[in-house]
Structure 1
Amino acid sequence: MITVGEARAVARKKLEARLGEWAGLVTAGEPSPAVSIALRPPSERQMLADEAAAETWAREWAALQPADGVEVDWEVRAWRSIGRQRVPVRVRLADADATASFAGGAAQADWSRLRERAERIATRFGASEAVSSVVRRRARDLLALEEGRFAQVVDVAAWIIDHPVTGYRPRQVPVRGVDSKWLGRHRQRVADLVTAVTGSADLGLVEADPLVRLRILDDALAVGGPTDIAAPAAQLADLPLRPQGVFIMENRETVLAMPRWPGAVAIHGSGYAVSVVAALPWVRSARVLYWGDLDSNGFAILGHLRAGLPDAVSVLMDSRTLYAHRDLWVAESVPARGELPELTYTETAALAALRDEGDVRLEQERVPWAYALAELRAAWGAGSSPGWSGRQQGGAGESARGGRGAAVGVEAVARLDDGPDRLGAGQGGLQGEAGAEPVQPEPREEPRREAGERFVGGLIAGDEE
């Protein structure tokens, strides 16, 4: 048996679920559909089991106050042991207004406000399907705006429809009370209404070019100019830079923490905007080391980078780094899915590992700085020989066209275990402050091997027949 309170809750859920759809119908001037809620009257056996409860339930429905569009259907049931009984079987709600009225409370107030705003939009912009679609999609957003903001959005959209602002910057829009900050908050709301009426793709406002942040880590490359630069990519492309190598990093703070480094430039990749960096001519002519968050999106961003720079080498993006910092893992809220053919075998294995562990992530800024610098230095040193390319790269980094050896990476960990003196304390190599010089690579003794043995991925294995 569905009580009056339970039926009101059902009506409230239906109203919330179809709020946008019904608001769009209001804008279009079309009627909303009726709603019927079954009351599940008791059977004869249930009546006999608890006649008092059944009678209370029926009396509650009989006492329901009449309301426009709200009707309760009653039927007579003939039962052998009880006789003929009149019971409520369903409540019928004629339209959205009746559903809101029956639901009552905050749901009714919300519908009344949204209905009134949908009507105002129709009056101001017409009852076209495009306008109705905006109301359907933005119903909850329109409802959430305070009255003054809603009125301002409508007024600004109407003004721009009559006075196109194509070619203006946001600061130049001559509407009283509207500035670039206001447009930043409400631009999409205004644009949706303008597009619904005019069919234009957007407002036509001129946008500021996004800035790319970089640091020149070698004063010799700056030629007396600035070493910390934030500028549009088009301007950066014209810089007379000829770096030996470029570090591209997902996190800006990592770029700012990089020490002085002969022949190097560090660039903030800005996540999926990394393709902008990949198009810079002087980046394309240098060797590139990429370090991003060790998560699925970090590998997806690496795939985007490799579309323009197939020889880019990844650093600190392998299973060894992942499992060495298990205590620093966090959950990745929105993992990237799909295949990433641009990744190497080692990178693909790391991606599979973090997914198998439950879509975990090791954020770039969580990796201990001394550990990170040792790995960056090892990857840089591994590619410093003449004629270096990603196809030849091994050691601490890996490109899409080259394999990844374990020897240099293991050496870096060994040096970390030896304490701060082994990390170059007093030499400035791994201090993490601007102005410090990196430590020069130490000689590395190759593992001994017996006759008939060969190296596979940094390990010793017997020769195959």
Structure 2
Amino acid sequence: MITVEAARDRARTKLGRSMPEWVAEPQMEPVLTIALKPPTERQVLLDQNVSVEWATGWRLLEQKDQVSGIHVEWESRSWSRVGQQRVPVRVHFRAPDDVAQFVGGEAAHRWRRMSDRAQKIRIALDIGTVLRPLLSQRGNRILALSDAAFTQVLGATMWLRDHPQNLMRPRQLPIRGVDSKWFTEHRVLVQSLLNAAGFSEAITVLDAETRIRFRILDPSLRPGGLGDVTAPASEVRGFTVSPSVVFVVENLETLLSLPDFPGAVAIHGSGYAVDLVSHITWVKQARVIYWGDLDSHGFAILSKLRSHLFDVTSVLMDEKTLLDHRDMWVGEPKPHRGRFSKLTLPEETTLARIRDEGDVRLEQERIPWEAALTQLMRSYDHAMEHSSVRDRPREGREA
């Protein structure tokens, strides 16, 4: 038996899932029907009070909402021991507003808010059939805006539709109240509204290109003595330097602390920005040593780097380093739960230990610098040795 409250829960779920569709398109009647699963004669005999209470609940609802679009359908049951009975079998809702009325509370408030804002978008931008995919993708974002913010987003979208802009930076947009910070926060929604209105090319904003910082650790490789460089990724790719070894480190402090290493360059990996690092030609041609935090994201980044670069060795990301610095552990706020296909068996063992210990984290800067430097030098020596072997001409071939 589906009680009134159980039906209300189902209607609430349906309203949440169907909101973009119901807001965007006129609905055929009824929009929702819920089967009430009336009791059998045997169930009535086992507990007649429960059955009576269930039917009474639906009768009271019908009396209360008799002028609304909520209709309770009844059928007669002829039972040998209970006799003739009328039982509710289905409840029908004529329109989305009726579902919202039945549900009430926050869900009904969200429905009214979405309906109102969808209508304003429809009128302001003359959006018809594409309103549904827009609301499916951006409905939660639209609902989350304050009234003032929604008005401003819609106003900015209308202005950009009527005044197409080309090749501008966010701070150059000549819209009252719209600065670069505002545009960064609302850009995706504004662009989605423009796309839905058929003006996807109304604005082309030039974003600041991601910058990469690296240090040339070999004084002999520094052009004009320049050793600490921060530049757009496209310019770093074209930078003329040919290191044998490249250190990729996750934290900036580590990058700044590294001493000179002949034939080496160090790059600030900056977390998942290693994607950019892996496309630098002179990085691809070198042996890469990666040192990240000992946590799930550190290993995720390592695996990601290896998906682009074949020759990547990790350092200070082993189980012994983890356990030797137990007193330095902190909790990882949002651990990565994925599986990483490019880890070695020892690295997988270390990651498993991190998770078994309760998703702990050992940040690289917490490892005493002298101990860390010793391990870095060993990895560097090993990489240089293998680099020399790799670069050495084979017998029978010209040098």
Checking the alignment, whether the CA contact within 8 Å between 2:216 and 2:228 is kept in structure 1 is yes
Closer, same or farther in 2 for the Cα pair 1:31/1:181, shift >3 Å? farther
Residue 136 of structure 1 and its aligned partner are, at CA, apart by 1.8
Residue 114 of structure 1 and its aligned partner are, at CA, apart by 0.5
Residue 201 of structure 1 and its aligned partner are, at CA, apart by 7.1
Letter in 1 for 2:348: L
Name 1:261's counterpart in structure 2: 260
Checking the alignment, whether the CA contact within 8 Å between 1:36 and 1:91 is kept in structure 2 is yes
In the TM superposition, 1:291-440 aligns within 5 A as: 291-294=291-294, 298-299=298-299, 301-302=301-302, 304-306=304-306, 309-318=309-318, 320-321=320-321, 328=329, 333-337=335-339, 339-340=341-342, 347-351=344-348, 354-355=351-352, 363-365=362-364, 368-370=367-369, 371-385=371-385, 388=388
Name 1:168's counterpart in structure 2: 168
Checking the alignment, whether the CA contact within 8 Å between 1:38 and 1:89 is kept in structure 2 is yes
Name 2:395's counterpart in structure 1: none
Letter in 2 for 1:57: W
Residue 317 of structure 1 and its aligned partner are, at CA, apart by 3.9
Tell me whether 1:273 sits opposite 2:279 in the alignment: no
Name 1:99's counterpart in structure 2: 99
Closer, same or farther in 2 for the Cα pair 1:378/1:194, shift >3 Å? same
The answer to which structure has the higher helix fraction is 2
Name 1:15's counterpart in structure 2: 15
Q: Unaligned stretches of 5+ in structure 2? A: 393-399
Q: Percent identity?
A: 40
Looking at structure 1, the residues matched to 236 and 274 of structure 2 have their Cα atoms a distance apart, in angstroms, of 14
> SS at the partner of 1:204?
strand
Given the two structures, how large is their TM-score scaled by the length of structure 2?
Answer: 0.81
Closer, same or farther in 2 for the Cα pair 1:338/1:52, shift >3 Å? same
Q: What do the CA deviations read for 1:93-144 (whole angstroms, capped 9, x no partner)?
A: 1132111111112211211111111122222233444332111222222111
Letter in 2 for 1:334: H
Given the two structures, how large is their TM-score scaled by the length of structure 1?
Answer: 0.71
Checking the alignment, whether the CA contact within 8 Å between 2:127 and 2:196 is kept in structure 1 is no
Name 2:73's counterpart in structure 1: 73
Looking at structure 2, the residues matched to 390 and 320 of structure 1 have their Cα atoms a distance apart, in angstroms, of 30
Checking the alignment, whether the CA contact within 8 Å between 1:213 and 1:231 is kept in structure 2 is yes
Looking at structure 2, the residues matched to 330 and 390 of structure 1 have their Cα atoms a distance apart, in angstroms, of 41
Name 2:38's counterpart in structure 1: 41
Aligned residues between the structures: 383
Checking the alignment, whether the CA contact within 8 Å between 2:290 and 2:312 is kept in structure 1 is yes
Looking at structure 1, the residues matched to 60 and 386 of structure 2 have their Cα atoms a distance apart, in angstroms, of 93
Which 10-residue stretch deviates more, 111-120 or 315-324? Answer: 315-324
Checking the alignment, whether the CA contact within 8 Å between 2:251 and 2:268 is kept in structure 1 is yes
Checking the alignment, whether the CA contact within 8 Å between 2:245 and 2:383 is kept in structure 1 is no
Q: What do the CA deviations read for 1:231-285 (whole angstroms, capped 9, x no partner)?
A: 21233355565556331112334323x2322434321113343243244455455
Checking the alignment, whether the CA contact within 8 Å between 2:215 and 2:227 is kept in structure 1 is yes
Residue 305 of structure 1 and its aligned partner are, at CA, apart by 3.9
Looking at structure 1, the residues matched to 6 and 386 of structure 2 have their Cα atoms a distance apart, in angstroms, of 78
Name 2:207's counterpart in structure 1: 207
Checking the alignment, whether the CA contact within 8 Å between 2:242 and 2:282 is kept in structure 1 is yes
In terms of Rg, which structure is larger? 1
> SS at the partner of 1:198?
coil
Checking the alignment, whether the CA contact within 8 Å between 2:167 and 2:203 is kept in structure 1 is no
User: Runs ≥4 in structure 1, deviation > 6 angstroms?
Assistant: none
Residue 358 of structure 1 and its aligned partner are, at CA, apart by 5.2
Looking at structure 1, the residues matched to 82 and 27 of structure 2 have their Cα atoms a distance apart, in angstroms, of 47
Q: What do the CA deviations read for 1:384-414 (whole angstroms, capped 9, x no partner)?
A: 459625699xxxxxxxxxxxxxxxxxxxxxx
In the TM superposition, 1:107-118 aligns within 5 A as: 107-118=107-118
Closer, same or farther in 2 for the Cα pair 1:201/1:159, shift >3 Å? closer
Looking at structure 1, the residues matched to 391 and 292 of structure 2 have their Cα atoms a distance apart, in angstroms, of 21
Checking the alignment, whether the CA contact within 8 Å between 2:252 and 2:268 is kept in structure 1 is yes
Letter in 1 for 2:336: V
Name 1:55's counterpart in structure 2: 52
Residue 306 of structure 1 and its aligned partner are, at CA, apart by 4.6
Checking the alignment, whether the CA contact within 8 Å between 2:287 and 2:387 is kept in structure 1 is no
Residue 87 of structure 1 and its aligned partner are, at CA, apart by 2.4
> SS at the partner of 2:6?
helix
Looking at structure 1, the residues matched to 47 and 303 of structure 2 have their Cα atoms a distance apart, in angstroms, of 68
Q: Unaligned stretches of 5+ in structure 1? A: 393-465
Looking at structure 2, the residues matched to 33 and 270 of structure 1 have their Cα atoms a distance apart, in angstroms, of 54
Looking at structure 2, the residues matched to 357 and 300 of structure 1 have their Cα atoms a distance apart, in angstroms, of 13
Q: What do the CA deviations read for 1:78-97 (whole angstroms, capped 9, x no partner)?
A: 23333322222222111321
